């Protein structure tokens, strides 16, 4: 059933211009970021003595910054994808089709979430070109590439689950989209709020609840149990809330 | 006959208003049950509750002896619903959409079943077209197709002929009639002649309350207020005194073209058409009309819904 709905959702992305516009726009913007970072890096190492230039890490200056920027792009791109997932179906009353069938709410939530994640992975797939270009010009340091991809995919999972929940709350796409953007910004601000607080315990709690500290660890390949636990519980919590929100019509 | 659906004391309350209040009715196996009521009477709310799409505030409903509840997944393959707004994915082709619905209900031989439904509803010529590009008539047929593609034995059709052209209405009515050969249908409409053509059982709902429910003929009989005899003579003639036949009252008198018509009600519902005929003719008058008037469903409906002042 999940596979059936996942396929239906994915087809609906690719039968409308939305998926192509998003993939094109994402490739253009991330490509521009990559180009600028590369130019800044090469200009930087040419402007300083060679023994110092060796100290500047390519991965640190280009790869990690690029993926941090991609994470930033998700603030807009993921709510654009998730905002319509439930709200449009609520408005058109097409969810009735699922509730009249032996499907359960969680199956609908999971399949919609997986389809949105598939679209994000398709978007990220375009960025595989960047390491290939770097390989072509002789750079061989790709040490953190895998963890960088993992970090943005894990963040995408969180943003998608948050977006699904926001979409399940309202029959208005714009409201759902704005709620998702505010939610993601709030997640980022929690970590920043933690940095600003002088109380160690409060700072640690804020830092753990916020997503940025986990992202920063994983992107550097420092994957800890608490990070995996954080992402898993985040996705599960908002998935659960979406199921409950959809189930409000129920007994 | 077996009771397929038993609605027992259902109430649905929203903040600040009651949509339906303590309604009870039954739908018998193999019947086409008409569900009548003016706009806002609570028809769609009741139908959505029966389909398990929303919970009642109180009361109980049983379908095939099982209490209706969304957790009872087996019941979901037993109910086909065509709601007022059919749940159509406008960006999907007809065939793909029906295949999706059939797969959601785990239908065996999906391809055969979808082909058969499309053929029955004359959808084959538009099978590859996007639903959003179809006319209202075709969309309504696709909506009906999704309700029957998984062979549910109980169908709920919420105003299925609403907004269709006359030819589509006739075709759809005929199709619904054929469906009733092996299914039970709960069917709401505003078109009263449609009810008389299709339904054997009806329920009239108004302001969230049931005003009448049961066999259509029974309801006709129950709401016949005295046996009305319609007698017509030429417009320049006057009906003679009929007191020798029994005590009577002329309830209505009017001229239709070249004819003067009288509505008479005799005491004890006396049907004395033979005697009236003989008397009128014996006075040398021209008898143009002589018939028993039974109230139209429309009269009953208007009376029930208090729209007739």
Q: Where are the domains of chain B?
A: 3-222, 228-293
CATH 3.40.50.300, applies to B3-222: yes
Contact B4/A at CB under 8 A: no
Q: Which among B54, B79, B92 has the least Cβ separation from residue A100?
A: B79
More confident residue, A169 or B298: A169
Question: Among positive and negative, which fits the CA dihedral B157, B159, B164, B169?
Answer: positive
CA end-to-end distance (rounded Å), chain A: 23
Interface test with A, best of B15, B44, B53, B92 (most A CBs within 10 A): B53
Contact A8/B at CB under 8 A: yes
C-beta of residue B262 within 8 angstroms of C-beta of residue B232: yes
Q: What is the mean pLDDT of residues A3-14?
A: 91
d(CA A10, CA A140): 36
Per-residue pLDDT, B226: 63
pLDDT one-digit tens code per residue, A84-94: 999 999 888 89
What is the value of ipTM here, to two decimals? 0.83
Contact B100/A at CB under 8 A: yes
d(CA B18, CA B3): 27
> In chain B, which residues have pLDDT < 70?
1, 222-226, 269, 294-299, 303-309
Per-residue pLDDT, B309: 43
pLDDT one-digit tens code per residue, A97-133: 998 898 889 999 999 999 999 999 999 998 888 888 8
Cβ contact, residue pair B76, A94, below 8 Å:
no
d(CA B192, CA B216): 12
Count CB-CB contacts under 10 A for residue B170: 12
Contact B92/A at CB under 8 A: yes
Longest dimension (CA), chain B: 76
User: Of A180, A186, A189, which is closest to residue A162 (Cα–Cα)?
Assistant: A180
Contact partners, residue A48, CB within 8 Å, separation at least 6:
A56
Residue of B nearest to A251 (CA): B55
Q: Which among B51, B55, B89 has the least Cβ separation from residue A251?
A: B55
The domain locations on chain A are: 2-249
Per-residue pLDDT, B308: 47
Q: Which architecture, in CATH terms, is B228-293?
A: 2-Layer Sandwich (3.30)
Contact B223/A at CB under 8 A: no
Cβ contact, residue pair B87, A249, below 8 Å:
no
The encoded tokens of residue A93 equal 């009353």
Cβ contact, residue pair A97, B87, below 8 Å:
yes
Min Cα separation A230/chain B (Å): 31
Interface test with A, best of B45, B55, B80, B87 (most A CBs within 10 A): B87
More confident residue, A180 or A212: A180
Cβ contact, residue pair A101, B104, below 8 Å:
yes
Cβ contact, residue pair A93, B85, below 8 Å:
yes
The proportion of chain A whose per-residue pLDDT surpasses 70, expressed as a percent, equals 98
Min Cα separation A29/chain B (Å): 29
Cβ contact, residue pair B104, A249, below 8 Å:
no
Q: Position of tokens 């008198």?
A: B253
Question: Which residues does chain A have within 8 Å of residue B145's beta carbon, measured at their own beta carbons?
Answer: none
User: Of A85, A82, A206, A63, which is closest to residue A156 (Cα–Cα)?
Assistant: A82
C-beta of residue B163 within 8 angstroms of C-beta of residue B54: no
d(CA B204, CA B189): 11
Q: What region does A5 belong to: left with phi over 0, alpha with psi -120 to 50, or beta?
A: alpha
The encoded tokens of residue B15 equal 């903040």
Cβ contact, residue pair A251, B69, below 8 Å:
yes
Does residue A251 carry a pLDDT above 70? no
């Amino acid at each position: 059933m999940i596979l059936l709905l996942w396929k239906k959702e994915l087809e609906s992305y690719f039968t409308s211009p939305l998926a192509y516009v998003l993939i094109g726009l994402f490739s253009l913007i991330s490509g521009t970021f990559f180009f600028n970072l590369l130019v800044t890096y090469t200009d930087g190492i040419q402007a300083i003595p060679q023994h110092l230039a060796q100290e500047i890490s390519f991965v640190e200056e280009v790869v990690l910054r690029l993926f941090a920027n991609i994470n930033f792009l998700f603030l807009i791109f993921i709510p654009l994808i998730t905002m319509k997932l439930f709200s449009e179906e609520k408005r058109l009353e097409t969810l009735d089709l699922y509730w009249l069938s032996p499907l359960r709410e969680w199956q609908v939530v999971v399949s919609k979430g997986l389809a949105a994640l598939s679209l994000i992975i398709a978007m990220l797939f375009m960025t595989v070109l960047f390491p290939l270009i770097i390989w072509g010009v002789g750079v061989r340091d790709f040490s953190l590439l895998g963890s960088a991809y993992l970090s943005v995919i894990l963040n995408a999972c969180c943003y998608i689950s948050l977006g699904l929940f926001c979409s399940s709350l309202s029959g208005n796409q714009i409201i759902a989209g704005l709620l998702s953007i505010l939610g993601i910004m709030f997640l980022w601000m929690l970590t920043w709020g933690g940095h600003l607080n002088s109380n160690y315990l409060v700072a640690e709690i804020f830092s753990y609840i916020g997503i940025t500290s986990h992202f920063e660890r994983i992107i550097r390949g420092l994957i800890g149990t608490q990070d995996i636990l954080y992402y898993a519980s985040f996705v599960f919590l908002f998935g659960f809330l979406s199921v409950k929100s959809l189930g409000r019509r129920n007994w | 006959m077996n009771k397929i659906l038993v609605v027992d004391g259902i109430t649905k309350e929203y903040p600040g208003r009651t949509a339906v209040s303590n309604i009870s009715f039954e739908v018998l196996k193999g019947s086409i049950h008409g569900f009548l009521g003016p706009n806002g009477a609570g028809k769609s709310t009741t139908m959505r509750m029966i389909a398990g799409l929303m919970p009642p505030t109180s009361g109980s409903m049983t379908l095939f002896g099982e209490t209706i509840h969304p957790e009872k997944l087996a019941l979901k393959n037993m109910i086909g619903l065509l709601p007022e707004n059919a749940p159509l994915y406008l960006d999907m082709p007809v065939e793909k959409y029906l295949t999706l619905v059939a797969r959601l209900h785990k239908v065996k031989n999906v391809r055969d079943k979808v082909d058969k439904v499309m053929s029955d509803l004359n959808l084959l010529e538009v099978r590859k077209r996007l639903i959003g590009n179809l006319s209202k008539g075709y969309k309504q047929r696709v909506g009906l197709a999704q309700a029957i593609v998984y062979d549910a034995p109980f169908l709920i059709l919420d105003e299925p002929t609403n907004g269709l052209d006359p030819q589509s209405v006739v075709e759809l009515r005929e199709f619904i009639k054929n469906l009733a050969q092996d299914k039970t249908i709960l069917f709401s409409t505003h078109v009263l002649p449609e009810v008389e053509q299709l339904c054997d059982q009806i329920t009239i709902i108004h302001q969230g309350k049931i005003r009448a429910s049961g066999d259509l003929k029974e309801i006709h009989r129950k709401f016949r207020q005295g046996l009305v005899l319609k007698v017509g003579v030429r417009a320049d003639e006057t009906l003679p005194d009929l007191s020798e036949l029994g005590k009577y009252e002329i309830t209505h008198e009017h001229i239709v073209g070249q004819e003067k018509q009288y509505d008479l009600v005799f005491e004890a519902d006396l049907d004395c058409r033979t005697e009236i005929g003989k008397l009128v003719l014996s006075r040398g008058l021209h008898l143009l009309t002589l018939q028993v008037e039974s109230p139209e469903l429309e009269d009953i409906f208007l009376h029930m819904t208090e729209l007739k002042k």
